[in-house]
Structure 1
Amino acid sequence: MVILRCAGKDATDDFDSVHSLELLSEALPETALEGYIDPAEFDTPEDKPAAMYEKQSKPADDGLPVLQSLINLHDFERVAQRLPATTWAYYSSGADDEISKLNNALAYRKISLRPRVLRKIPSVNTTTAILGYSTTLPVYVSPVGLAKLAHPQGECAMAAAAGKDGLVQVLANGSSMPIEQVMKSRTSLNQPIFQQLYVNKDIQKSVETVQRAERAGASAIWITVDSPMVGKREMDERLNLRVTVCTLPGRCHWTFIVFTNVFQATDDNAEGQGVAKIMASSISPFIDWEILTWLRQLTDLPVVIKGIQCVEDAVLAYQHGVQGIVLSNHGGRSQDTAQSPLLTLLEIRKFAPHLMESKLQIFIDGGIRRGTDVLKAIALGATAVGLGRPFLFSLSGYGEKGVRRMIDILRQEIETNMVFLGVSSLEELRPEMVNTIRLEKHLIASVKL
């Protein structure tokens, strides 16, 4: 279908909007090369005005606000709304009524800070360690797929920015850039990149993902378990986006997607499918805690389990010997009305405080948009926080410079509010520095561990 739709037309934009050029050379044999084509030979599709074609195929670069005029993370989100509608829907949508997505951010607003005065803080130290790797902020790049939809450099631009600003990046299983290319974009050989893993229905593909990550030099595996199937992301589906999934033969079993937007769809009766639903179609829903045993037999890399949503599972993860857990409801993109990760952190504090005193590192993501949000999570026992959508939004139109500007804004907010709290280092943050009573009333009365 894709070949017929693109027959006689330039398919470069369809491919480049999602994938790296290296995909072709790695997935196809040299005999597949049929020759070279002069781009001048192609015409703009007759059934679609040129302006519309440009708008749908790439983000607008003209008329962007001056980067220095963006002064908070919300500003980047507003600018990112200039992205093509299908891209914006994939990046920003939540499940169902988006209650979980909204509550993730609302939870932080329900917690108040308790500043201390007259503490004489000449400087602050925001460094910490994630799985033994130093980071200049208690913040990491959460795994976000298809970053190339936001900017041609995609995950490579994020890696470059993370390296220059001393952050850790978790590379998405659905990265639009191959891990080898992302590793080349680092600023030093010591810059850590962690690999996210979704367990594939074809387990051999997951074996290859882990082995490839090891060969490339990944420093840890973050296995995501909170989306055994995709949530009902209505904004994404409402655009009636058709996506064709193609698998190329080869040692890595490359899979790529081709977009067919509403202007190109030909079957009026075809069911609309969002990008998320197609991207998640290969994830196995048939795994249990034994998958950690399988992963341990496959690699010696540190393992973090991403998607813990209650204290009971946090305890089970600890008992299974993982190095870290991520409290996450997938950014509100999986099961709507799932409780906020910050509430899960309070559950752990109340019902399993021994986890806070162990070597287990506890990470948290979802709804974090301010430096005060970061400090609240750290004060309550989190090791570091992950941001996903904000990195995509800052990448949109600006590339690496946008990501670095966003990190700088977050750094300034964290440093300023540490002074207000009267602390000079992250280690000095304590639970008594936050008032959680408005959020605690949502805690479950008791649990059986």
Structure 2
Amino acid sequence: MTVTRSEIERHNTRQSCWVAIHGAVYDVTVSDFLDSHPGGAQVILRCAGKDATEEFDSVHSPDLLTGALPETALRGIINAAELAPSEGMDSVSEARPAPTPDGPPPLSTLINLQDFEEIAQRYLPINAWAYYSSGADDEISKRNNARAYRKISLRPRILRKIPPVDTSTSILGHSTTLPVYISPVGIAKLAHPDGECALAAAAGKEGLVQVLANGSSIPIERVMQSCVSLNQPVFQQLYVNRNITKSVEVVRRAQKAGAQAIWITVDSPVVGKREMDERLNLSVMAGDGNSQGQGVAKTMASSISPFIDWDILSWLRQLTDLPVVIKGIQCVEDAVLAYQHGVQGIVLSNHGGRSQDTAQSPLLALLEIRKFAPFLIDGRMQIFIDGGIRRGTDVLKAIALGATAVGLGRPFLFSMAAGYGEDGVHRMLQMLRQEIESNMVFLGATTLRELEPEMVNASRLERELVGSVKL
């Protein structure tokens, strides 16, 4: 059935909200779709009675509509050219600092991860940059995550007759060519239309592990199709939803699709106050009496349950026999509790400085473990770490102090920006791999197993350690 423009435009309220996506017209007030939408109802309501195609495509895969809305929601079709586009986020998405006239520079001219970040800031839509780069409050934790690595010096060994170095390791039993994995990063389509699929393809070709975000902009089934082999390791991140049945669906769907571990994220029971993100949203929604300044992050995470404790691990084990990793450990006491609850791994993380500002850096948490619970670094439980890692030397410092591997999030998103996509990811990893290999030679280590605590001087950072703990 053909729907007219005037008919769609009449349905522009919460009580009756129609939107057009790729020429199909949907009534999103059917069922409880508006209230259950992960991004919040306001994200949809600002497109009420209009064409929402561009905004939908910026964060979603086209096939998402099939499972998200019942057949009864379809009201008909319309020629998209006849319908006014939605205002607000679309206009902001197009607003960005002026790029150079000749477009982004060739990938061959970028030589470190900071170069990618600078290009991303120039070329990403403003709302994407705000969502990706923002930290909580004054962004002290975000900055301190990186500064912690600068407080550790290397202690190279010489005359060791180093053959070609071996950077391979094993993450939860899966071989990887670097002690680096792709951290779960939400809404990757904001960086590039191929989003998480580009990351999966690059991870497969580079021999890395990818952890797929709970808020992935592309369904896991399509991401798995982008893998280069059937046994390519993809892990599924899990936020426990207020509606627990939705978390059950995430786990079962991931296992059916071929995910090989569950990374339950617990460091954001509520969303940090990411002011850059929220300030942008206020400017977009100016004049809207219903707006409360919620940015992308807060609306995306509005369904996360703060009402969970360690018993959630028992619930998860009844649901799946996949390995379980807890992401978001921030002190030695919780690292020990995680070990006692039998998880296969932990991620030392303060959510990239995006949750509680002034929370200590993950690298400090690693030093706490070394000092107060060194038995955790004996291989019984793998220890991962993320936040602030931008150099090959950062990676080696973490490994020397006992980490199994490190996670990078923002750098992978930035590497896809400006249209680089999968090629940008390869270039970024090429640079990181070269830094890791050359600095292993400087240290006198031929394999990651030969990296030892004695190869680093952590005394400056150790001054910030807590005096005592109760285990």
TM-score (norm 1): 0.90
Q: What does residue 411 of structure 1 align with?
A: 433
Give 2:172's aligned amino acid: L
Could you tell me which of 7, 23, 26 is aligned with 2:64? 23
Deviation at 1:80, TM superposition (A): 0.8
Q: What does residue 245 of structure 1 align with?
A: none
Could you tell me which of 408, 415, 420 is aligned with 1:387? 408
Q: What does residue 311 of structure 2 align with?
A: 290
Label 1:204 to 1:30 Cα distance change in 2 as closer, same or farther (>3 A).
closer
Could you tell me which of 180, 184, 191 is aligned with 1:143? 184
Q: What does residue 140 of structure 2 align with?
A: 99
- Secondary structure in structure 1 of the residue aligned to 2:170: strand
Residue 86 (structure 1) aligned with residue 108 (structure 2): no
How far apart, CA to CA, are the structure 2 residues paired with 1:314 and 1:263? 41
Q: Which runs of 5+ in 1 are unaligned?
A: 242-261
Answer yes or no: is the 8 Å Cα contact 1:379–1:429 preserved in 2. yes
Answer yes or no: is the 8 Å Cα contact 2:151–2:460 preserved in 1. yes
Residue 431 (structure 1) aligned with residue 453 (structure 2): yes
Label 1:265 to 1:437 Cα distance change in 2 as closer, same or farther (>3 A).
same
Label 1:315 to 1:96 Cα distance change in 2 as closer, same or farther (>3 A).
same
Counting only pairs closer than 5 Å after superposition, residues 115-126 of structure 1 correspond to structure 2 as 115-126=156-167
Label 1:91 to 1:287 Cα distance change in 2 as closer, same or farther (>3 A).
same
Label 1:326 to 1:7 Cα distance change in 2 as closer, same or farther (>3 A).
closer
Label 1:440 to 1:264 Cα distance change in 2 as closer, same or farther (>3 A).
closer
How far apart, CA to CA, are the structure 2 residues paired with 1:269 and 1:34? 27
Residue 329 (structure 1) aligned with residue 350 (structure 2): yes
Label 1:6 to 1:334 Cα distance change in 2 as closer, same or farther (>3 A).
closer
How far apart, CA to CA, are the structure 1 residues paired with 2:456 and 2:412? 27
Could you tell me which of 278, 290, 293 is aligned with 1:237? 278
Structure 1 vs Structure 2 CA RMSD: 2.3
Deviation at 1:28, TM superposition (A): 3.2
How far apart, CA to CA, are the structure 1 residues paired with 2:339 and 2:138? 33
Residue 11 (structure 1) aligned with residue 52 (structure 2): yes
Residue 440 (structure 1) aligned with residue 462 (structure 2): yes
How far apart, CA to CA, are the structure 2 residues paired with 1:56 and 1:181? 30
Answer yes or no: is the 8 Å Cα contact 1:59–1:396 preserved in 2. no
Report Cα offsets for 1:378-428 as digits up to 9, x if no partner. Answer: 000000000001011111121111111111110000001001111111011
Deviation at 1:302, TM superposition (A): 0.1
Label 1:59 to 1:224 Cα distance change in 2 as closer, same or farther (>3 A).
farther
Label 1:38 to 1:96 Cα distance change in 2 as closer, same or farther (>3 A).
same
How far apart, CA to CA, are the structure 1 residues paired with 2:169 and 2:379? 17
Q: What does residue 39 of structure 2 align with?
A: none
Label 1:54 to 1:447 Cα distance change in 2 as closer, same or farther (>3 A).
closer
Work out the number of aligned pairs and report it. 427
Deviation at 1:358, TM superposition (A): 3.8
Deviation at 1:445, TM superposition (A): 1.1
Q: What does residue 236 of structure 2 align with?
A: 195
- Secondary structure in structure 1 of the residue aligned to 2:241: coil
Deviation at 1:101, TM superposition (A): 0.4
Q: Which runs of 5+ in 2 are unaligned?
A: 1-12, 19-44
Q: What does residue 35 of structure 2 align with?
A: none
Answer yes or no: is the 8 Å Cα contact 2:93–2:126 preserved in 1. no
Q: What does residue 24 of structure 2 align with?
A: none
Label 1:303 to 1:5 Cα distance change in 2 as closer, same or farther (>3 A).
closer
How far apart, CA to CA, are the structure 2 residues paired with 1:230 and 1:79? 28
The more displaced of 276-285 and 341-350 is 276-285
Answer yes or no: is the 8 Å Cα contact 1:226–1:306 preserved in 2. yes
Counting only pairs closer than 5 Å after superposition, residues 33-44 of structure 1 correspond to structure 2 as 33-42=74-83
The more displaced of 5-14 and 394-403 is 5-14
Counting only pairs closer than 5 Å after superposition, residues 256-405 of structure 1 correspond to structure 2 as 262-263=283-284, 266-267=287-288, 270-397=291-418, 398-405=420-427
Q: What does residue 253 of structure 1 align with?
A: none
Report Cα offsets for 1:311-355 as digits up to 9, x if no partner. Answer: 000000000000000000000011111110001000000100101
How far apart, CA to CA, are the structure 1 residues paired with 2:417 and 2:75? 34
Answer yes or no: is the 8 Å Cα contact 1:10–1:42 preserved in 2. yes
TM-score (norm 2): 0.86
Deviation at 1:118, TM superposition (A): 1.1
Residue 133 (structure 1) aligned with residue 174 (structure 2): yes
Deviation at 1:95, TM superposition (A): 0.7
Report Cα offsets for 1:202-246 as digits up to 9, x if no partner. Answer: 1111111111111111000000011000111111111135xxxxx
The more displaced of 5-14 and 178-187 is 5-14
Residue 170 (structure 1) aligned with residue 191 (structure 2): no
Label 1:417 to 1:405 Cα distance change in 2 as closer, same or farther (>3 A).
same
Tell me: higher relative CO, structure 1 or 2? Use CA pairs within 8 A at least 6 residues apart: 1
Label 1:5 to 1:102 Cα distance change in 2 as closer, same or farther (>3 A).
closer
Deviation at 1:24, TM superposition (A): 1.2
Answer yes or no: is the 8 Å Cα contact 1:160–1:186 preserved in 2. yes
Q: What does residue 74 of structure 1 align with?
A: 114
- Secondary structure in structure 2 of the residue aligned to 1:170: strand
- Secondary structure in structure 2 of the residue aligned to 1:240: helix
- Secondary structure in structure 2 of the residue aligned to 1:446: coil
Label 1:171 to 1:44 Cα distance change in 2 as closer, same or farther (>3 A).
closer
Answer yes or no: is the 8 Å Cα contact 2:96–2:124 preserved in 1. no
Could you tell me which of 109, 114, 124 is aligned with 2:155? 114
- Secondary structure in structure 2 of the residue aligned to 1:364: strand
